[in-house]
């Protein structure tokens, strides 16, 4: 799909952020348990793919960079979610052939 696991986690973190302005770089670094400069490098690579966009629309502090998914980023996440759900369904049916159902408790 052309994404690293770290980029996938970045997209998920941006999508899940409760603030409509989007998360800051520092917030994402904390969420991803990485250092600020490492998060910036990850953001740079993901932005080059056209999956996220930066903005400085914080009226209180113009130094704060906020991040948002682009349309391509939202579409990539939707595609990956569909693939993951299909894989889980396949694995669930496969596990059902190896595991007997637990007896009902009375």
Whichever domain contains 49, its CATH number is 1.10.10.10
pTM value is: 0.79
80 part of a folded domain? yes
Domain that holds residue 29: 5-96
* Number of domain units in the chain: 1
User: Is pLDDT above 80 for 21?
Assistant: yes
102 part of a folded domain? no
> Chain-centre distance of CA 85, in angstroms?
15
47 part of a folded domain? yes
Other Cβ atoms closer than 10 A to 22: 21
Distances (CA, A) of 59 to 26, 34, 56, 78, 101: 17, 27, 8, 31, 58
User: Tens digit of pLDDT for each residue in 38-88?
Assistant: 999 999 999 999 999 999 876 677 788 899 999 999 999 999 988 888 888
11 part of a folded domain? yes
Residue 70, phi then psi, degrees to nearest 5: -85, 175
Other Cβ atoms closer than 10 A to 10: 27
């Amino acid at each position: 799909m052309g994404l690293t696991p770290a980029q996938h986690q970045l997209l998920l973190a941006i999508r899940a952020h409760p603030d409509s302005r989007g998360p800051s770089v520092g917030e994402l670094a904390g969420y991803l348990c990485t250092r600020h400069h490492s998060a910036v490098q990850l953001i740079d690579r993901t932005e080059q793919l056209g999956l996220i966009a930066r903005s400085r629309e914080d009226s209180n502090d113009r130094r704060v960079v906020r991040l948002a998914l682009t349309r391509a980023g939202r579409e990539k996440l939707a595609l990956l979610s569909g693939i993951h759900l299909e894989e889980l369904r396949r694995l669930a049916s496969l596990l059902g052939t190896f595991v007997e159902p637990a007896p009902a408790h009375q």
